[in-house]
């Protein structure tokens, strides 16, 4: 994966702030949408990627909001998902997969 130039960083940040979808940002800067997403997280100080060795970081992110989580969705989004799909809180824990 090629790195991002400062110009590309600026473009990503500007577009993210405007609410431009990552699929379009990816086309603008010529990187993958996932890479642009990860880059924007890092640029905004939201990244949970380990920066060095020995850093224990949960690599999973909420499917819906992108918050670091131990599950497929964070507790808040899981509650929303259950509500939306009329699943009782007592139902099976492994939802959404």
Stretch 37-96 residues interacting with Zn ion (CB under 5 A): 62, 64-65, 67, 74, 77
By CB under 5 A, how many residues form the interface with Zn ion?
6
Question: Nearer to Zn ion by C-beta: 27 or 85?
Answer: 85
CB of 83 vs Zn ion, minimal distance in Å: 13
Question: Nearer to Zn ion by C-beta: 28 or 64?
Answer: 64
CB of 38 vs Zn ion, minimal distance in Å: 17
Question: Following DSSP, what letter does each residue of the chain receive, concatenated?
Answer: -PPPPHHHHHHHHHHHHTT--HHHHHHHHTS-HHHHHHHHHHHTT---S--STT------B-TTT--B-SSSS-HHHHHHHHHHTT--TTS-S----
């Amino acid at each position: 994966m090629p790195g991002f130039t400062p110009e590309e960083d600026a473009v990503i940040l500007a577009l993210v702030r405007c609410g431009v979808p990552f699929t379009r940002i990816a086309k603008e800067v010529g990187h993958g949408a996932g890479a642009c997403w990860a880059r924007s997280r890092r640029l905004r100080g939201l990244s949970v990627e380990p920066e060095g060795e020995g850093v224990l970081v949960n690599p999973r992110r909420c499917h819906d909001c992108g918050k670091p989580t131990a599950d497929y969705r964070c507790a808040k989004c899981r509650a929303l998902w259950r509500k939306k799909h009329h699943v009782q809180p007592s139902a099976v824990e492994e939802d959404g997969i």
